[in-house]
Amino acid sequence: MCLIKDAMTKKQHNFEAETGRILELLTHSIYSNKEIFLRELISNASDAIDKARLKALTDTTFLGDDTNFEIKVEIDKKAKTLTITDNGIGMTEDEVHKHIGTIAKSGTKEFLEKMEKAKEGGDHNLIGQFGVGFYSAFMVADSIDVITRSGLDKKAHKWTSDGKSGYEIEETKKEGRGTQVVLHLGEGNHELLEDWKVRELIKKYSNYVAVPIMMQELDTRTDDEKKKEPKKLEMEQVNETKPIWKKSKTSIKEDEYKDFYQSVSMDFNAPLGHIHSNIEGNVSYSTLLYIPQETNAFSDMRDPNKEYGPKLYVQNVLILEHAKELLPTWLRFVSGVVETTDLPLNISREMLQSNQTLDTIKKSLVKKIVWELKKLRTKNPEGYAKFFMNYGTILKEWVYYEQDLKESIAEILEFDTLLGDKKMSLDEYLETQKDKEKTIYYITGKSRSEVLASPYLAQFKDTKTDVILLTDTIDEWMIGVLDEYKKIKLKSITASDISLKEETAEEKKKAETTEKQFKDMLELVKNTIGTDKIEKVELNSNLGDALGALKTADGAMNPQMEKMMKAMGQPVPETKRILELNPSNKLVKAMKKEFKDDIKSKKLKDLTNYAYMQAILLEGGELENIADFVGLTNKFAGEYLK
């Protein structure tokens, strides 16, 4: 809706509903950390300057004489204003409406929902983590003027609002390109008229903004001295513009690394670690990349649809906010900066997509990150465990996609195991097999409780041999390509004949006799269940107390994978399973007796079907007919209660 006051000069507009809600939240604030408003305004000014630089690459007359980029922060104690001025790209009238009149951020709706929840829960810190940009200035200002002139426009415009119901726009005069934001500070915020306070905020939140932030020099003379000898105060730079990634590592404190991390990512936690290097070579580049530890409610980098990638600078110009060309998707949680002088400044996005320089940098970054993660795991195991809990699934994707690197990546994975009380790496797992011939045993399934029910674990428990428990969906894919690690085979315990105990000659002989005794019965069991369902029936005396279990034939697709492929609509051949029966189980013994006494008995058929259904359930499978199973169970229970 638009209320036209004076069609020629001043136009008044109402805020959109969402903007109104944000402003309402801000002004009646719940919010304890008002001071981030300056960081937001300076960041907007710096972005506007980046855009002007970028524009000038293709439009050589765009900058004119105004090429000395800077952000000015000025205090007027009398007028009680704080003014932030930039000579960036500026805004046309339409752009003012679009950018300042509405909140165009895609995450706004989600943000409002989170904020309202947080308000109920009393979490006042959320706003600071999200940053509502320009509007945060209404936390300290009673009204705001934005005077702006686009570099493409001769006209300038002034936007004014008290942050309540709407705003006014009028044409105005302004020398040169850029934007000036004038904050009329409210009662209670007059501390912001103190020079030291503003400098402190700039240092704290905007120290590494790549543009000089200028303030009037401090006049430390007494009032008398000032009167006696008036002096024109010069502007001086308050921040450090040498980008942190170009500084020497030894000159940077841990806190500075953390501050910079918070400014390039949306994460307000400390990162797990960083990679800072300056590479000179065929392709030269500097980089400062960060690995997160926590996830972030406002910017969940586990989401493959999120924009990701470090900022890309070429010769001090920010070319891309998110250079996804520099990192593979499965490294989407890494943020930071890459700067190179080996790209032309006027490179287009299309050219970036197949660029050799970027490919070379990308390869080297991937290696560095893997290497750094390995180091972090030993240096800070607890932090790494948190990181792995949050991003481990993405790491496992790497094994699948980065087949050249799969072993290095496998080295930094962590797994739950049957016997261990905390996650271990494959190397740590192999350590547990010191005196044995090494094999990596694993079992896959939907959940920990499901895999722990597998009868195939019995002999591992008995012999205290550890087994890796794989319960992530991605594990099936990962294991499919990993196959071996440091030349040691990975073996699925549900798809291999494994006997951990050495059999004596006597035991072997006994087993052979048992085999013979059961041979015909096993054939009958197979036919009763149906050769369309099972390929073979075997004996396995390593199943603990269990009646039986289903094995996957060597080389055949395991049932979880089969299910996944089917769910994805892939054509998969139905793989037949192998039913293994435990010869020392009472029911199996009863089957044998029945087979001898009356080969056609109903009891033998029931026992056979029951054994098969139990084996399906034990591996987390679904029964075709639950009623049959319940019926049989009741039958057995009936016997039991006799």
Q: Could you list the residues that contact ligand ADP (CB under 6 A)?
A: 40, 44-45, 48, 86, 88-91, 99-100, 133-135, 179
Q: Shortest distance, CB of residue 65 to ligand ADP, whole angstroms?
A: 20
> Please, which residues have CB within 8 angstroms of residue 396's CB and are 6 or more apart in sequence?
413, 472, 474, 475, 477, 478
Burial class (CB in 10 A: 0-12, 13-18, 19+), 260: buried
Q: Shortest distance, CB of residue 114 to ligand ADP, whole angstroms?
A: 17
Choice between 133 and 383, CB closer to ligand ADP: 133
Q: In DSSP terms, which residues pair with 158 in a beta bridge?
A: 147, 170
Which residue's C-beta sits nearest to ligand ADP? 133
- Are the C-beta atoms of residues 171 and 9 closer than 8 Å to each other? yes
Cα dihedral across residues 54, 59, 60, 62: positive or negative: negative
Choice between 103 and 366, CB closer to ligand ADP: 103
The H-assigned helical ranges of 59-104 are: 93-95
Report CA-CA distances (Å) from 620 to 444, 446, 450.
11, 8, 6
Choice between 157 and 592, CB closer to ligand ADP: 157
Length of the chain: 642
Choice between 40 and 619, CB closer to ligand ADP: 40
Closest CA to 278 of 241, 252, 239, 308: 252
Q: Shortest distance, CB of residue 90 to ligand ADP, whole angstroms?
A: 6
Choice between 90 and 548, CB closer to ligand ADP: 90
φ/ψ (deg, to 5) at 321:
-75, -40
Choice between 92 and 609, CB closer to ligand ADP: 92
What is the DSSP secondary structure assignment for residue 110, as one 8-state letter? H
Q: Shortest distance, CB of residue 185 to ligand ADP, whole angstroms?
A: 19
Q: Shortest distance, CB of residue 301 to ligand ADP, whole angstroms?
A: 18
Choice between 99 and 247, CB closer to ligand ADP: 99
Number of other residues whose CB lies within 10 A of the CB of residue 391: 24
- Are the C-beta atoms of residues 2 and 11 closer than 8 Å to each other? yes
Read off the amino acid at residue 420.
G
- Gap between the Cα atoms of 375 and 58, Å rounded: 43
Choice between 143 and 517, CB closer to ligand ADP: 143
Q: Shortest distance, CB of residue 180 to ligand ADP, whole angstroms?
A: 8
Q: Shortest distance, CB of residue 107 to ligand ADP, whole angstroms?
A: 10
Choice between 91 and 272, CB closer to ligand ADP: 91
- Are the C-beta atoms of residues 241 and 212 closer than 8 Å to each other? yes
Relative to beta strand 311-314, strand 335-340 is parallel
The H-assigned helical ranges of 276-380 are: 349-353, 356-379
With b for 16 or more beta-carbon neighbours within 10 A and e for fewer, the 299-315 pattern comes to: bebeeeeeebbbbbbbe
Q: Shortest distance, CB of residue 57 to ligand ADP, whole angstroms?
A: 18
Q: Shortest distance, CB of residue 577 to ligand ADP, whole angstroms?
A: 56
Residue tagged 């072997």 (tokens):
508
- Gap between the Cα atoms of 552 and 443, Å rounded: 12
Helical (H) or strand (E) element with 159: strand 156-161
Choice between 45 and 546, CB closer to ligand ADP: 45
> Please, which residues have CB within 8 angstroms of residue 395's CB and are 6 or more apart in sequence?
330, 373, 388, 409, 412, 413
Choice between 31 and 485, CB closer to ligand ADP: 31
Read off the amino acid at residue 501.
K
Q: Shortest distance, CB of residue 380 to ligand ADP, whole angstroms?
A: 32
Choice between 134 and 401, CB closer to ligand ADP: 134
What is the DSSP secondary structure assignment for residue 89, as one 8-state letter? S
Q: Shortest distance, CB of residue 240 to ligand ADP, whole angstroms?
A: 21
- Are the C-beta atoms of residues 471 and 444 closer than 8 Å to each other? yes
399 alpha carbon, distance to own chain's centre: 17
Residue tagged 């939907």 (tokens):
446
Choice between 40 and 339, CB closer to ligand ADP: 40
Q: Shortest distance, CB of residue 336 to ligand ADP, whole angstroms?
A: 19
Q: Shortest distance, CB of residue 113 to ligand ADP, whole angstroms?
A: 18
